[in-house]
Amino acid sequence: MKENEKQIQARRNFLKGSAAMGLASVATAVAASKMAQAAPAPSEPACEPDFLKAPEPIPDSKIAKTITTDVVVIGSALSGLSATRAALEAGAKVAVIEKSNDIVYRSSDVGVINSSIDKKLGLHYEPAEVVNAIQDYYHHRVNGDLWRHWAENSGAALDWWLSLVQYKLVDEKFDIPQDSKEVFVRVPHWPHPKAFNLAKEHYATFTTVHQILPDMGTALRAVYNKCVAMGGDFHFATWARQLVRPNNEGRVEGVIAQDKDGNYIKFVARKGVILCTGDYSNDRKMLEKYCPQVADLYPHSIWFNKDANGVNTNTGDGQKMGMWAGALFERGPHSPVSHCVGGPLGDDSFLLVNARGERFMNEDNDGQQFSNAIERQPKMQAFQIFDAKWPEQLGSQGISHGQISGLNMDAVVGKGEGGWTSITTKAKVERMSKKSDTLEGLAKELGLPAEQFVATIKHYNQLARAGKDTDYYKRADRLFPVEKAPFYGGRTGQALLVVMGGLEVNGRCEVLDPKFNPIPGLWAAGNAMGNRFSSDYAVTAAGVSHGTALTFGRLAGTEAAKS
């Protein structure tokens, strides 16, 4: 046999052997897999948190009173009152359980599109444009049916709510009396500032916020009064304890609650129960399990609604009761509304440095994006830096969260052509800032390392004068040098508002079980419902926590009443 023929034959023998070994390996792997499947799984210690362990059912022998109705709504904030009103208007009898002494509410921003107010202002969005942007932000982890319903119905829901009050539509220049019992409505940043062009913005921000001012109180009181007039049966200082669903099979038949004296009341719901119980940001254990990135902000939520005993609400009551009754909690990742509430100039795009005096991001962003970046900085700190030219620079800002600095509106500065950007006062900026005639002095005032801080400013000024941010790519018309004394700085704040993690629901707000089948007789709305947000709370469409609470509260009430 010639040499090349011997080599060819050797290769053939090697390949045959390799194939045989490969087949043997496959056979061995299959056998091992079968053995592993047949073997019992190793036991693991139980580590289920206490809040996931369903309590023993409260027996009928402990029930002091039974109330029979059509629909039971648990919670009397925006979603609960909307659900109650919608169910009553659909002809159902409704009982409401609320553990506070009165109806509850929080801030003023309600995110909707295409309301009658928008029509008056000449503001219109195609639902597809907004929904697709929201879906893209959340990487399609959210329920498209829900967002479509919001886009097509939220404006009408706001009109429905405000039909109960006489309100004044005002612009951003109007100074709203903070103790007024009148209702004012404002759409911030409309008309848009000249510097704003949605197509060119680094961060897409739609004008969705409708501010109900001075707060929601008067407008929500009108809904409550309407519900009472229609026969709504409200039970304040009453704590919902358990859903009634025997053996976690079949329909939810009602709920067992407890009054302030400790008496158990059984609410029998012929049609069903709607959970409108809020979020879980005041339950540390739930934060640690489902949203650990903000657990260390507990108990620093800026919203402290209290129950009738003076204890913080928003402890995940509806989520827990739902899971105990067999409901599926959304997989997550859950979304904290942990906005950076800005420095002295809000969340506008002025220079930010961390605790080391170093720049770390493109500042042309929104409050949630700032929070995400700051959370990963040393000491979770950041400082906003600007110079004496700040009033004339406000007109170049976008619309994102910049207006969050607009809490005091006397002696307004910052009027941009075609609209208003950050609304603040010189007195407020002075009060919130440290200032110095030198950069070294400002570093000392802020507790920052002077050498690094000054080096950061000098480099930033070089970028600004060149009109090109080669570090983080901020747009040139918002790249302002820090060079005219006095120099200002202030620490940015971060606040945990709520956590968006709720029960899985379908497009009709019906709560789902682990097989994704609706649980008969159970709905959820507001922050007790899931499927709306993921990872973050985007201000692509700001105010939609309240906007969806309103819209889906109305939907859940209507659906429950007709069931």
pLDDT of 196: 79
Long-range contacts of 54-58 (CB under 8 A, 24+ apart): 54/323, 54/324, 55/241, 55/242, 55/324, 57/242, 58/241, 58/242, 58/256, 58/264
Q: Name the 3-class secondary structure at 11.
A: helix
- Mean pLDDT within 388-416: 60
Residue type at position 361 = M
**What does the alpha-carbon distance between residue 258 and residue 242 come to, in Å, rounded to a whole number?**
10
Would you state the structure tokens that stand for residue 320, as one six-digit string? 């827990």
pLDDT band at 339 (very low <50, low <70, confident <90, very high): confident
pLDDT tens, residue by residue, 89-98: 999 999 999 9
pLDDT tens, residue by residue, 508-518: 999 999 999 99
What is the DSSP code string of 34-49?
Answer: HHHHHSPPPP------
The yes/no answer on whether domain 340-494 falls in CATH 3.90.700.10 is yes
- Judge whether 90 and 562 are in contact, CB under 8 Å: yes
Nearest of 352, 344, 370 to residue 469 by alpha carbon: 352
**What does the alpha-carbon distance between residue 417 and residue 229 come to, in Å, rounded to a whole number?**
47
**What does the alpha-carbon distance between residue 263 and residue 422 come to, in Å, rounded to a whole number?**
52
**What does the alpha-carbon distance between residue 100 and residue 117 come to, in Å, rounded to a whole number?**
33
pLDDT band at 500 (very low <50, low <70, confident <90, very high): very high
- Mean pLDDT within 158-186: 90
pLDDT of 423: 57
CA 262 from chain centre, in angstroms, equals 34
pLDDT surpassing 90 at residue 2: no
Q: Name the 3-class secondary structure at 201.
A: coil
- Judge whether 394 and 331 are in contact, CB under 8 Å: no
Of the chain, the end-to-end C-alpha distance in Å amounts to 88
pLDDT of 361: 96
DSSP β-ladder status, 493-494 and 340-342: antiparallel
Residues of the chain with CATH 3.90.700.10: 340-494
pLDDT surpassing 60 at residue 454: yes
pLDDT surpassing 80 at residue 340: no
Residue type at position 94 = V
Would you state the structure tokens that stand for residue 150, as one six-digit string? 């919001």
Q: Per mean pLDDT, which range of 44-53, 187-196, 446-455 is the poorest?
A: 44-53
- Mean pLDDT within 301-306: 71
Question: For a pLDDT cut of 90, what percent of the chain falls above it?
Answer: 66
346: β partners? 343
Residue type at position 287 = L
3-class SS letters over 470-499: CCCCCCHHHCCCCCCCCEEEEECEECECEE
pLDDT of 43: 42
φ, ψ for residue 437, nearest 5 deg = -80, -5
pLDDT tens, residue by residue, 174-186: 778 878 889 999 9
Would you state the structure tokens that stand for residue 23, as one six-digit string? 């087949």
pLDDT of 302: 60
- Judge whether 75 and 211 are in contact, CB under 8 Å: no
pLDDT tens, residue by residue, 237-277: 999 999 999 999 999 999 999 999 999 999 999 999 999 99
Q: What predicted TM-score, i.e. pTM, was given to this entire model?
A: 0.85
Alpha-carbon dihedral angle through residues 528, 534, 535, 538, given to the nearest 10 degrees: -100
**What does the alpha-carbon distance between residue 341 and residue 405 come to, in Å, rounded to a whole number?**
8
